Amino acid sequence: MLNITAARKARKRGIELNMTPLIDMVFILLIFFLVTTNFVRETGVDINRPTAATAVSKEKVNILIGITKDDRIFMDKREIDPRAVRANVERALAENPEGSVIIVADRKSRTGTVIKVMDGCRLAGAKNVSLAASLPSEEK
């Protein structure tokens, strides 16, 4: 008789599933994917880069500055004034002192604007300033 009443009580209670370990596992997987993901950094504008036969690919780029064909300057997907290049690069270098700067200038942008941006980067203390170019095979 005792076994029958115990079985009835067990049926009434139902089966309980503890969700805590499952939620912990989901959070651990989320953290794992966030830590191992490489985020692509972009200038925020579409730029038609000039070609160069000696162009090489850089693996780690920390600071990207874009110059459009109408000489507008973009950094971190926002437009900046040419006089503010130095301050913005100084701020970015404060976050990562070993950062390299890549200037992605449109082929129709003026050389004077590119020189102003390069000068601002050097005055900000950037040791490695490069100009972006495409290989001739990548030309559109």
113-124: per-residue pLDDT in tens? 999 999 999 999
Task: Say whether 18 sits in a helix, a strand or coil.
Answer: coil
Instruction: Compute, in degrees rounded to 10, the torsion defined by CA atoms 112, 114, 136, 52.
Output: 90
> Dihedrals φ, ψ of 63, to 5°?
-130, 120
Residue 115 is predicted with a pLDDT of 92
136 or 8, which is more confident? 136
Looking at residue 131, what is its pLDDT?
86
pLDDT tens string 55-103: 666 666 678 899 998 999 998 888 999 899 999 999 988 888 888 888 9
pLDDT value, residue 89:
92
Quick one: what percent of the chain has pLDDT higher than 90? 26
What is residue 51's DSSP assignment?
B
As given in the structure block, the two tokens for residue 46 are 């579409």
β-bridge partners, 80: 73
Using DSSP's 3-state secondary structure scheme, residue 80 falls into: strand
List pLDDT tens digits, range 6-59: 666 666 666 677 888 888 999 999 988 888 776 656 666 666 667 676 666 666
Mean pLDDT over residues 106-110, rounded? Answer: 89
Residue 89 in contact with residue 126, Cβ under 8 Å?
Answer: yes
Rg of the chain over all Cα atoms, to the nearest angstrom: 27
Identify the pLDDT of residue 22.
87
pTM score of the predicted model: 0.62
Euclidean distance between the first and final Cα of the chain, in Å? 85
Q: Which helix (H) or strand (E) holds 35?
A: helix 20-36
Buried b (16+ CB within 10 A) or exposed e, 36-50: eeeeeeebebebebb
